[in-house]
């Protein structure tokens, strides 16, 4: 940049970080505004994974809803880094924070997760939280049928592999 205009000063890392955070906050406000225009209920999918490089854990939360034109919409709502143990209770707490942040608690209808035990506890805790705080008995936790099918196929493949090796 000094070649093009020596008067221009590149922002340092602190200024760049502040600019990125401000841009993110601005987009967040727009997302919150757009989500408030949804007339019906919304549902979510959540998945937890651990980075193979850094061993850091993350929880992805995706929102799903039908818009005013009856078109299914979905997008990644948040990726939550986990510094604590990723227990079901901790996951439920973090998801609840995101739902409050985006003003979606009253619109939440369901969450679909895999069948990992912590996710099952998470779904149960979310349902209990909504029932206790808002008298909302309609929130449900669903287990992903594709995940169940995948586990069944993997188990069957292991049995077949063992039988082939024994022959």
Chain segment 41-96, per-residue pLDDT in tens: 999 999 988 888 878 899 999 999 998 889 999 999 999 988 878 899 999 999 99
What pLDDT score was predicted for residue 166? 65
Task: State the CB neighbour count (10 A cutoff) for residue 58.
Answer: 15
9 or 66: which leads in pLDDT: 66
Q: Is 163's pLDDT higher than 80?
A: no
Question: Residue 24: which of 117, 101, 107 has the closest Cα?
Answer: 101
Encode pLDDT of 112-149 as tens digits: 998 888 999 999 999 888 888 776 667 888 888 887 77
Contacts of 147 (CB under 8 A, 6+ apart): 114, 115
SS3 156: helix
What b-and-e string marks burial along 127-151, b requiring 16 or more CB atoms within 10 Å of the CB?
bebbeeeeeeeebebeeeeebeeee
CA distances in angstroms from 22 to 34, 75, 77, 103, 106, listed in the order given: 19, 21, 18, 20, 28
For residue 44, what pLDDT is reported?
95
Give the angle 163-165-167 at the CA atoms, nearest 5°.
Answer: 70
What one-character DSSP code corresponds to residue 60?
Answer: E
The pLDDT of residue 40 is: 87
Q: Mean pLDDT in the chain? A: 86
pLDDT(165) > 80: no
Tokens of 130: 């909504």
Q: Which of 95, 88, 83 is nearest to 56 (CA)?
A: 83
> Shortest CA distance to 102 belongs to which of 78, 82, 125?
78
Spell out the residues 6+ positions from residue 62 whose beta carbon is closer than 8 angstroms to its own. 44, 45, 46, 74, 75, 76, 77
């Amino acid at each position: 940049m000094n070649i093009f205009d020596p008067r221009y000063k590149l922002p340092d890392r602190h200024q760049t970080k502040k600019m990125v955070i401000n841009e993110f906050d601005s987009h967040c406000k727009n997302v919150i505004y757009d989500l408030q225009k949804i007339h019906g209920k919304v549902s979510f999918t959540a998945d937890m994974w651990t980075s193979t490089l850094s061993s850091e854990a993350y929880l992805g939360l995706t929102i799903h809803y039908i818009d005013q034109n009856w078109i299914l919409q979905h997008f990644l709502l948040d990726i939550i880094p986990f510094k604590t143990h990723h227990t079901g209770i901790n996951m439920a707490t973090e998801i609840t924070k995101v739902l409050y942040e985006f003003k979606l608690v009253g619109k939440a209808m369901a969450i679909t997760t895999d069948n990992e035990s912590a996710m099952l506890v998470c779904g149960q805790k979310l349902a209990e939280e909504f029932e206790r705080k808002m008298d909302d008995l309609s929130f449900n936790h669903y287990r992903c049928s594709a995940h169940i099918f995948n586990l069944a196929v993997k188990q069957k493949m292991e049995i077949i592999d063992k039988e082939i090796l024994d022959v």
